[in-house]
Structure 1
């Protein structure tokens, strides 16, 4: 099974289709323009869905993606990030609630804001993420 997976991966590189076929490579190769467009659409959807929730502050900031959960500190591609702040909840509690949600939402905290990087979210997962964030 391992050899079959390795063979498929190597074959993907040989055909020069690895970036389209291997999810992590597709995520890493997304341009800043693509990410900015996605984050703007997502933020607009989130603002529309959470109109009644005045406690959640939503903004888009410029920053960097963290590759491998920080295990590759030299790889920090630029990215637009969703920054969330809650009027009744600390950033640490907001991060904890998101991490404990089903499915877990992995974020990071910077300047007392919870950051979400859509580079690490498949487009097919955006609606589910939106529903989780609306429930906060």
Structure 2
């Protein structure tokens, strides 16, 4: 689902589809995919339609993911008008496809963060999206100093973070990268992936690159330990 069609393209907006459906007695189902509950435009990204907007537009049924931009466990969620949702709950397939208790517990915990207005502080994907560049710069420089003490040369450079995750195709955010000029960055990248815990870096312009936007603060110690063991060790 993570793609973009460019060029001379057009699509019928959901409110217009709902109006056509109502005129002909046909319920309209909207498949959102990303499950966004926050407006991505508030974070410098293109606007991703939210679940609330689709429901308000009059869609009879709205489908979306429990992971992706919602930020919870992988699951499929259906909301909408009771006369359409209730028969789905009673359908024999619902028993085969229903989420287990662990998934429901994770989903409940995730949604509670939205209800408490703390999604950008508690849900990993939104923590990463909401982190300002100034904070990313401070963290990247802290990593560089830690590596320098072990004799490892690194630079802090401008970069872009790709959101990805099955949503916001082509959208990026500004970031600050830790770049390591190494003789064989491919070998080091492979060694990091084999490390426990694994570290997935990328290579740009023959340098091993790490993006602090994709690393939560509580993961920094493990990351630096892996870098020191693989690069300096």
Instruction: Quickly name the TM-score band, shorter chain normalised.
Output: 0.7 to 0.9
Q: Aligned pair in 2 of structure 1 residues 22, 69: CA closer, same or farther (>3 Å)?
A: closer
**Superposition deviation, residue 15 in structure 1:** 2.3
Q: Which residue of 1 aligns with 2:139?
A: 38
Long gaps (5+) in structure 2: 1-100
Rg larger in structure:
2
Q: TM-score, length-normalised on structure 1?
A: 0.83
- Aligned with residue 120 of structure 2, among 19, 24, 38: 19
- Aligned with residue 63 of structure 1, among 134, 147, 159: 159
Q: TM-score, length-normalised on structure 2?
A: 0.51
Q: Aligned pair in 2 of structure 1 residues 73, 114: CA closer, same or farther (>3 Å)?
A: farther
**Superposition deviation, residue 134 in structure 1:** 1.6
Q: Which residue of 1 aligns with 2:193?
A: 99
Cα deviation code 1:88-129 (max 9, x no counterpart): xx2211211111111111111110011101111122221222
Q: Aligned pair in 2 of structure 1 residues 33, 102: CA closer, same or farther (>3 Å)?
A: same
Aligned equivalents of 1:111, 1:34: Cα separation in 2: 25
Verify: 1:7 aligned to 2:101, yes or no: no
Verify: 1:131 aligned to 2:225, yes or no: yes
Aligned equivalents of 2:154, 2:191: Cα separation in 1: 17
Q: Which residue of 2 aligns with 1:115?
A: 209
CA RMSD of aligned residues (A): 2.0
Query: What secondary structure, in the 3-state scheme, does the structure 2 residue paired with 1:16 have?
Result: coil
Aligned residues: 129
